[in-house]
Amino acid sequence: MYAQIVDQVSAKVMSGAWEAGRALPSIRELASDCQVSVITVKRAYQELERAGVIVTRQGKGSFVAETLELPRSLAMEEFRAQLASLIRAARKSGLSAQDVLDQVERALSDPPDSSTEPTGDTPS
């Protein structure tokens, strides 16, 4: 459950929905809202603080970190995780590096609003 809290807070920060300096709900408040233990929320906040997403000020609470690079670094971290998953799937499927590159180039040449679903074409 703590991972879901980490993911949700990170997503809100990455999207810009939660701007730098924004106060987060208190640990007790969020625990009550999510119906989880205080320990679970505390663990999530500690993870977010280690990642540089939030800062905690003793007696004041937790806030979105004031760094301008945060949304970009979170997006890059997410991209790298997705890329690693893609590479694992490609290897499991027996695709060559060139097959993967061809598929990536094809996907990048598609208009941004087009579907990213596989076309069923066999890799060349």
pLDDT in tens, 52-80: 889 999 899 999 998 756 666 767 777 88
Kindly list the domain boundaries of the chain, sorted by start residue: 2-64, 70-109
- Contact assessment for residue 34 and residue 1, using Cβ atoms and an 8 Å cutoff: yes
| pLDDT of the residue at 40 | 96
- Global pTM? 0.58
What CATH architecture does domain 2-64 belong to?
A: Orthogonal Bundle (1.10)
- Tell me, rounded to whole angstroms, the distance of Cα 19 from its chain centroid: 16
Q: In whole angstroms, what is the distance from residue 68 CA to residue 74 CA? A: 11
State the average pLDDT over residues 96-119: 77
Q: In whole angstroms, what is the distance from residue 39 CA to residue 106 CA? A: 46
State the average pLDDT over residues 16-26: 91
- Contact assessment for residue 45 and residue 63, using Cβ atoms and an 8 Å cutoff: no
Question: Mean pLDDT over all residues of the chain?
Answer: 84
Q: In whole angstroms, what is the distance from residue 101 CA to residue 99 CA? A: 6
| pLDDT of the residue at 52 | 85
| pLDDT of the residue at 70 | 63
